[in-house]
Structure 1
Amino acid sequence: MGAQAADTRRTEIRYVRGDATAPQGKGVKVIAHVCNDLGGWGKGFVVALSRRWPEPEAAYRRWHRERSGNDFGLGAAQLVQVEPYVWVANLVGQRGIRTGRSTGVPVRYEAIDAALGRLGEHALRLGASVHMPRIGCGLAGGRWELIEPMVAARLTDRGVPVTVYDHT
C-alpha cells in the first residue's frame, strides 16, 4: 500500500494478542461482537462479556423480547454503555445457531456488513475506537478473510480505529 496523504482519516486494523473485554488504549471504546437472531445468549464470546458486565445480555434479551416494536433483526446494532467510556455493540449477524452439519453456518455476511455500517455511525458520533475478537468467525462459522474487508470499509476507511484481539 502506498503512503497515505496527511489529511486522510483512513486507519489500519491493529491486531493484538489479548482479551477484547479489556480493550487497550485511551478514550471512548466500543467492544463489538456478533449475536444471533433468536435471542440466544450463552456460548462463545458473550460468556466473557457477561462475566464482566450484565448489561449487554439484559439489553439484548429485552431488545429481542420487544422486537415487534424495535429494529431487532439481521443487520441491526445495539449499543449498551457498561462503563463511563466503554460501550458494547450487540451486532445481529447470525441466523439462528449451529445445530447440525446439514444446516450450514449461521453467519450472514450481509447482516454483519449492515451492522458494521451502523456501528461506524455510532463510533464516529461517540469519537470511539472499536475493539473486537474476529467477529463472526467463532460459533457463527464465518471466515475472517471475508469479514475483514467489511471492517475496513465500514470502520477504518471512515477513520474509526479498530483493534482485533486474538485471545491468548
Structure 2
Amino acid sequence: MTGAITYVRGDATAPRGKGVKVIAHVCNDLGGWGKGFVLALSKRWPEPEAEYRRWHRERASNDFGLGAVQVVRAERYVWVANMVGQRGVRTGRSSGVPVRYGAIDTALAALAGHALELGASVHMPRIGCGLAGGRWERVEPLVTARLVERGVPVTVYDVA
C-alpha cells in the first residue's frame, strides 16, 4: 500500500510524529557545509556535519561522491541522511545549477533501504531546491518513486 507525500508548514529539523525519523537533505560533492539547511541541522546536532566532513576527508577510501548517502544518528530516534546530490556550489559566475537529479534519485533509493531497515519515516525540506537550484516538479516524482512507493512515509516541510 502506498500513500502520498505529506506537506506541512514547519521546521524539518523538528520532525513531527512518533517513532524513528530520518531527516534527509542534499549536500554538495566538495565537502562544503556552511549555507542553507545544513546550518539549521548544525544548530541542533554536531554529528551530521562532523560525519559529513570526515566522510569527505576520507573519500579516497569510502563511497563519498554523487549519489552516495550517509545516515548519521543525531539522537535516539532521529537520524540525518547526508545525500550527495549536487555537483559543486553556485558561484557568481556559474552558468547552470549544481543540482544533479540522477544523484538525488540514486541517494533516495539507498535511503529507502535505510529507512525500511530502521522502520523510520523520512522528513525533509524541498531537497535540492534551495542552494542547489533544483525544481520541485523534478524532485517530487523521485521522492514518490523511491520512498513513498516502497512504503516509506514522507513529510516535506515548507518554512512557516
TM-score, normalization: structure 2?
Answer: 0.99
> What does residue 27 of structure 1 align with?
19
- Within 5 A, what are the aligned runs for 1:146-157? 146-157=138-149
Structure 2 Cα separation of the partners of residues 103 and 122 of structure 1: 35
For residue 81 of structure 1, report the CA deviation from its aligned partner. Answer: 0.2
| One of 67, 70, 77 as aligned partner of 1:78 | 70
> What does residue 133 of structure 1 align with?
125
Structure 1 Cα separation of the partners of residues 3 and 47 of structure 2: 30
> What does residue 160 of structure 1 align with?
152
Letter in 1 for 2:44: R
- Within 5 A, what are the aligned runs for 1:2-151? 8=1, 10-151=2-143
Structure 1 Cα separation of the partners of residues 95 and 88 of structure 2: 10
Query: Once superposed, which parts of structure 1, at least 4 consecutive aligned residues long, lie more than 4 Å away?
Result: none
Letter in 1 for 2:87: R
Identical columns (%)? 79
Q: Deviations over 1:83-127 (max 9, x none)?
A: 111000000000000013543100000000000000001001111
SS in 2 for 1:116: helix
For residue 134 of structure 1, report the CA deviation from its aligned partner. Answer: 0.1
Structure 2 Cα separation of the partners of residues 139 and 160 of structure 1: 26
For residue 11 of structure 1, report the CA deviation from its aligned partner. Answer: 1.5
Structure 1 Cα separation of the partners of residues 60 and 42 of structure 2: 25
SS in 2 for 1:103: coil
Q: Which moved more, 1:129-138 or 1:101-110?
A: 101-110
What number of residue pairs does the alignment pair up?
A: 160
Structure 1 Cα separation of the partners of residues 94 and 78 of structure 2: 39
> What does residue 3 of structure 1 align with?
none
Letter in 2 for 1:48: A
Q: Which moved more, 1:142-151 or 1:96-105?
A: 96-105
TM-score, normalization: structure 1?
Answer: 0.94
Question: Unaligned stretches of 5+ in structure 1?
Answer: 1-7
